[in-house]
Amino acid sequence: MNPWHDVSPGANVPYEFNAVIEIPAGSSVKYELDKTSGLLKMDRVLYSAVYYPANYGFIPQSLAEDGDPLDALVFCQERVVPLTIMRARCIGLMTMIDAGRVDYKIIAVALDDPSFNSYQQASEMPSHQMMMLKRFFQDYKQLEDKRVEVGEFQPAEAGHPVIEQALVAYSKQRRTGFQQFSA
């Protein structure tokens, strides 16, 4: 089973969706989905003394502009085990420019966590928590001599069309095949 291809994106997309977690909150290890096998591979230990401020993963059956599944950061009071499927609600969008390319991050909250499931918009979240999120993405590649630009947080309504476009892009690509990922 490959979590990118075989897990449903959810029943109420783009407002709520399933997220497959790759990296638990608090980790300094960057894991990525191996697109062929569906397993996680260790990409690297982060070069800076930083850690992921939220559970980091992707929306299944989505294809972002960078050729990967669409990224999602899911706030939850617990660190979630990698490859766990979480029900999440989109509360915002963060737009990054990474190596000159747009890289969208859906900001979400865990629907099954009573500490976070009442949030509807990123603007409702504690401001310090959102500053930590932004600062993480501004800093985490600095010691690798890579530059990342992080835009302002946008509301949930900005994230919905990004999710929809990523699902459509995946569907189109799936019809023609994912040959570039075959072994």
Take residue 59 and report the two structure tokens written for it: 């929306």
Domain ranges of the chain: 3-160
Quote the CA–CA distance of 25 and 169 in Å, as a whole number: 28
- Report which of 56, 63, 26, 16 is spatially closest to residue 40, judged by C-alpha positions: 56
- Report which of 65, 75, 76, 71 is spatially closest to residue 33, judged by C-alpha positions: 71
Model pLDDT for residues 100-147, shown as the tens digit of each residue: 899 999 999 999 999 999 999 999 999 999 999 999 998 887 777 888
Q: Look up the CATH architecture of domain 3-160.
A: Alpha-Beta Complex (3.90)
Cross-strand pairs, 19: 86
Model pLDDT for residues 140-181, shown as the tens digit of each residue: 877 778 888 999 999 999 999 999 999 999 999 999 987 655
